[in-house]
Amino acid sequence: MAAWTPKTWTPRIWTGLAALSGLCAVALGAFAAHGVEAPKPAEWLDTGSLYQMTHALAVFGAFALHRAGARGMGLVAGLFLVGTLLFSGSLYAMALGGPRVLGAVTPLGGLAFMAGWALLAWRAFTLPPQA
Q: What is the pLDDT of residues 21-79, one digit of tens each?
A: 999 999 999 999 999 999 999 999 999 999 999 999 999 999 899 888 888 898 999 99
Tell me the residue range of the domain where 109 lies.
10-124
- b/e for 39-56, b at 16 or more Cβ within 10 A? eebbebbbbbbebbbebb
Q: Is pLDDT above 50 for 1?
A: no
Q: What does the alpha-carbon distance between residue 59 and residue 107 come to, in Å, rounded to a whole number?
A: 20
- Tell which residue, 55, 50, 45, has the closest CA to residue 82: 55
Is 99 contained in some domain? Answer: yes
CA contacts within 13 A on the Cβ side of 28: 27
Is 130 contained in some domain? Answer: no
Q: How many domains does the chain have?
A: 1
Is 96 contained in some domain? Answer: yes
Is 1 contained in some domain? Answer: no
Q: Which pLDDT score, from 0 to 100, does residue 3 have?
A: 53
Instruction: Identify the band that residue 131 occupies on the pLDDT scale cut at 50, 70 and 90.
Output: very low
pTM of the model: 0.90
Q: Which pLDDT score, from 0 to 100, does residue 21 have?
A: 96
Q: Is pLDDT above 80 for 7?
A: no
Is 48 contained in some domain? Answer: yes
Is 60 contained in some domain? Answer: yes
- Measured in degrees and rounded to the nearest 5, phi and psi for residue 37 equal -95, -30
Average pLDDT over residues 112-124: 96
